[in-house]
Amino acid sequence: MNHPDKQKSYEDEQKRISETVSKIKHRIAVFSGKGGVGKTTVSVNLAYAFQLEGYSTGILDADITGPNVAKMLNVQDEMIYLDEKMIPFEKYGAKMISMASLLPHGQPLIWRGPMRSKVINQFLADVDWGELDYLIADLPPGTGDEILTIAQEMKPDYAIIVTTPQEVSVIDAERAINMAKKLEIPFIGVVENMAGFVCPHCGAVAEIFGAGGGEKLAAEYDVQFLGSIPIDIDARILSDKGKPIVLEKQNSEVSIVFKSIAAFVAEHYKKELLTKLV
C-alpha cells in the first residue's frame, strides 16, 4: 500500500472511530498499575451494576494479550461479521468484545505494541456497538501502548484505578493515576479491591492485604475514592462459571459496593450535565 492509500485508510478508520464514539454517552477506562488486582472483575461487575440501573452497557476487553472478559462471561462462540462489521456478543443484556473470541484456546498472542493498538482501533472502528450509555474498557496492567490508544481514540471521560490495599499495589496505582492525569482524562476515581476477606462461616473480616491504601492514595492525589470491595469466595466461583456476582448475588456485600460505585458515577455524570446547562 503506497502512502496516499495508507493515508486514506487511516482517515477512513478515524472517521469510523469518531462515528462509534459519538453514539456512546459515557466512556470509562479501568486501569491498574499492576496485574492481579482484580481489574477485570471490577470492569465486568461495574458494567452490570450500571445495567441493573437501566443503562445500556458494553465492555471492550482492551487487554489484547491477556483477555479475560470472555471467560468471566462464559463466551466461547466465534465472532460474527455482518456488512463488514463485527457484531459484539451480548451476554446478560450487555455487549462485549474480546480478543479471546478471535484466538484458539490457549494460544499466546506475541505481538508488538503497534499491532495490539491496531486491534483496539478495530474494536472501536469496526464493531457495531450501536448506541450505549456506558462503554467500559478493561485495560491491560501498566502504562503501555494500548492505554495510549484508548486515551486517544476512545476518549474516556472517567478513569477508574483499581488497586489492593497492599503498599506495592498502591505504588503501582500511583503511576496509573499520574498517567491518567497526563492523558488529560477529566475525572479519576480509585477502587480498592480485595479489602479484607469475609469468612463465609463466621463473617469475621481478615485484612489479608492491609487496609486503607486506596483511600489514602485517592486523598493524596485529590481524586475520588469510589469504594472498598472485600474478598468474597463466591465472586471467584461465579467468575469461573461466567456469572457476574452483581447479577447472581445482588444482596452480597461485594454487589452492594459495586452498585454504590455505579450509582455514584451515574450521579457524577448527571451533575456534570447540569453544570454544562447552567
- How many other C-beta atoms lie within 10 A of the C-beta of residue 7? 11
Distances (CA, A) of 221 to 20, 173, 188, 215: 32, 11, 10, 10
- How many other C-beta atoms lie within 10 A of the C-beta of residue 90? 11
Bridge partners of 15, per DSSP, are none
What was the pLDDT predicted at 108?
65
On whether the pTM is more than 0.95, the answer is no
Please count the helices (runs of H) and the strands (runs of E) in the chain. Answer: 10, 11
Which residues are within 8 A (CB) of 166 and not within 5 positions of it... i.e. 6 or more apart?
209, 210, 213
Topology given in CATH for the domain delimited by 24-277:
Rossmann fold (3.40.50)
Encode the chain (278 residues) as per-residue pLDDT tens digits: 667 777 888 889 999 999 999 999 999 999 988 888 999 999 999 999 999 999 999 999 999 888 899 999 999 887 788 888 899 999 999 999 998 877 666 666 666 767 888 889 999 999 999 999 999 999 988 777 888 899 999 999 999 999 999 888 889 999 999 999 999 999 999 999 998 887 777 767 777 777 788 999 999 999 999 999 999 989 999 999 999 999 999 999 999 999 999 999 999 998 887 777 76
Domains of the chain, residue spans: 24-277
What was the pLDDT predicted at 97?
95
